[in-house]
Structure formats: structure tokens, C-alpha cells
């Protein structure tokens, strides 16, 4: 349809797969940075860490 050969298509797919993870990492890092900026502007503090909540629950016996 667009005149690309099989080799061209393979190269484009390989480059897309290699690039995609970097785009995702940048997106996640940017979201975290924006969250930190908003938290500082509004003076918010992180919620206390709830370590062991699931570990302290009793599991049903079989």
C-alpha cells in the first residue's frame, strides 16, 4: 500500500519495539514529577507507609 518492503517493515517494527519502553519510562517519570510538584505547591505529605497489613491478616485454613 505505501510501498515498503518486508525489510523496511521489519526495521520499523524493531525500532518501534526498542523505542516504546523509553516512551513508557518517560511517561511514568513525568507523572511522578508532576505529582511531586503539585504536592509541594499544596503542601501535601505522603501517606504513612502501611507495612505488614496483608502479612498480619489471617489466612483461611483448608
Across all residues in the chain, what is the average pLDDT?
Answer: 81
pTM above 0.75, yes or no: no
Q: Which DSSP string corresponds to 12-33?
A: HHHHHHHHHHHHHHHHHHHHHH
Residue 62: is its pLDDT beyond 90? no
Q: Which pLDDT band, with edges at 50, 70 and 90, does 40 fall under?
A: confident
51 or 41: which carries more pLDDT confidence? 41
**Exposure pattern of 21-40 as b/e (b: 16+ CB <10 Å)?**
eeeeeeeeeeeeeeeeeeee
pLDDT at residue 8 in the model: 95
Amino acid at each position: 500500500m505505501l510501498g515498503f518492503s518486508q525489510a523496511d517493515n521489519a526495521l520499523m517494527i524493531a525500532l518501534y519495539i526498542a523505542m516504546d519502553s523509553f516512551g513508557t519510562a518517560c511517561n511514568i517519570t513525568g507523572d511522578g514529577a508532576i505529582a511531586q510538584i503539585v504536592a509541594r505547591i499544596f503542601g501535601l505529605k505522603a501517606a504513612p507507609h502501611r507495612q505488614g497489613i496483608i502479612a498480619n491478616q489471617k489466612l483461611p485454613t483448608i
